[in-house]
Amino acid sequence: MVKAKVFIFEHYFDGYPKETDLRLVEEELPPIKEGEFLAEAVFLSVDPYMRAYSVRLPLGIPFIGAQVARIIESKNVDFPVGRYVLGNFDWRSHTICDGKALKGHMFTQDPYILPDFGDLPVSLALGILGMPGNTAYFGVTEVLQPKKGDTVVISGAAGAVGNIAGQICKIIGCTVIGIAGSEEKGRWLVDELGFDYFINYKTQNLEEALKKVAPQGIDCYFDNVGGDVSFTIMNQMNRFGKIAVCGAISGYNEQNPKILPLQYTMVFNELKLQGFHVHRWLNRWMDGILQNLEWIKEGKLKYHETVTDGFENMFKAFLGQMKGETVGKPVVKA
Ligand SMILES: NC(=O)c1ccc[n+]([C@@H]2O[C@H](COP(=O)([O-])OP(=O)(O)OC[C@H]3O[C@@H](n4cnc5c(N)ncnc54)[C@H](OP(=O)(O)O)[C@@H]3O)[C@@H](O)[C@H]2O)c1
């Protein structure tokens, strides 16, 4: 008899999530049936979408999330014991699955066995070699489409998506400016990842700093945050500038009144702005992962994870990401 630990969504979040909004329970799992496998969480992801999508979730269900799990029992030939699987198995320590997306789940992507990452850690399947990596890869190459020589600004630049988006723009040959909320993050972007400039939006005047590092204006903007930061960046964009709207984390936990005034800038500068969701490329999912894997092996892409120990600490990691305490991709080691 296997007991699963599960975080149940207990209360809708009001502002930043509170620990009491989730409840940790134990569930006894039944024996697996023909066609099913039992997987044990090894690494779990925390992501801002969990906060954004929480308003659409019913209460009383396991809280949403993806994980890398090891298959410990199987009656499904496609999911053999010992292999690692990526699944939207939520905040659970153990999951029974029939090889398809969990029934009634918000996310319909089927679980998949991880491709061979060589010597790289399997946790990367939650970051650079998974959803955030693909968001950066497709967001830059398919939506933003910067050209060699363009000046590109990335907000949320030291986060899971932003740091990879910036590195891919460097591979393309752009001048890349990263916006993030601490000196430590900025040093990492410039010294380790090869970003050209870094601006700390918490301590510097963003408008003036942008004028200094991009006197010729901004051609492309990869927007992870929305709000004040985006308002300032978009107002300094060149005519026919392009904007990929990846996310708007500044509005997830607080009201954001800065949306409408941007319409004027959009018109005057004839900007092209496009929102996108990474699930548009589900049919090319492995293309993104394998391209990023190749770039890692060639030394062109680097990665960093912020690892929190212990399934019980899921909430701490979740809140820490939204409060700006994490660098690169946050994951929880079960
Ligand atoms: N479109 C898609 O398919 C898709 C897929 C994945 C993610 N996303 C979106 O992409 C964005 C980044 O996701 P991620 O996983 O890479 O998260 P992340 O950047 O690792 O974490 C969020 C970061 O945002 C920054 N932040 C928080 N509040 C802010 C504010 N008010 N103003 C400016 N920055 C703020 C914090 O860093 P600082 O220290 O820099 O403040 C924080 O660490 C999110 O908006 C997410 O929803 C979209």
Q: Are residues 163 and 112 in the same domain?
A: no
Question: What is the total count of domains within the chain?
Answer: 2
Is the pLDDT at 260 greater than 70? The verdict is no
Kindly state if the Cβ of 253 falls inside 6 Å of ligand 1: no
Q: Are residues 100 and 9 in the same domain?
A: yes
* Domain presence at residue 283: no
Q: For residue range 42-72, what is the model confidence (pLDDT) as tens digits?
A: 999 999 999 999 999 999 999 999 999 999 9
Q: Are residues 143 and 259 in the same domain?
A: yes
CA of 158 to the centre of ligand 1 (A): 9
Q: Which domain, by its residues, includes 52?
A: 2-127+304-333
Please report the atom of ligand 1 found closest to the CA of residue 248.
Answer: 45
* Domain presence at residue 247: yes
CATH of the domain at 7: 3.90.180.10
* Domain presence at residue 222: yes
CATH of the domain at 262: 3.40.50.720
* Domain presence at residue 288: no
Record the tokens describing residue 76, joined without a space: 């499904």
Q: Are residues 224 and 149 in the same domain?
A: yes
Q: Are residues 9 and 106 in the same domain?
A: yes
Least confidently predicted of 105-109, 120-124, 204-208: 105-109
Q: How much is the pTM?
A: 0.95
- Pocket test residue of 184, 187, 249 for ligand 1, highest count of atoms within 8 A of CB: 249
Q: For residue range 161-211, what is the model confidence (pLDDT) as tens digits?
A: 999 999 999 999 999 999 999 999 999 999 999 999 999 999 999 999 999
First-residue to last-residue Cα distance in the chain: 20
Kindly state if the Cβ of 277 falls inside 6 Å of ligand 1: yes
CA of 36 to the centre of ligand 1 (A): 35
Residues linked to residue 177 through DSSP beta bridges, in sequence order: 153, 197
Residues linked to residue 331 through DSSP beta bridges, in sequence order: 45, 307
Q: Are 167 and 200 in contact (CB under 8 A)?
A: no
Please report the atom of ligand 1 found closest to the CA of residue 278.
Answer: 3
Q: What is the separation of C-alpha 187 from the centre of its chain, rounded to a whole number of angstroms?
A: 21
* Domain presence at residue 286: no
pLDDT-derived band at 23, boundaries 50, 70, 90: very high
- Pocket test residue of 131, 225, 259 for ligand 1, highest count of atoms within 8 A of CB: 225
Please give the pLDDT value at position 60.
97
Q: Are residues 146 and 112 in the same domain?
A: no
- DSSP annotation string for 69-117: EEEEEES-TTS-TT-EEEE---SBSEEEE-SSPPTT-S--PPPEEPP--
Q: What is the CA radius of gyration of the chain?
A: 20
Q: Are residues 78 and 177 in the same domain?
A: no
Phi, psi of 169 (to 5 degrees): -65, -35
Q: Are residues 137 and 239 in the same domain?
A: yes
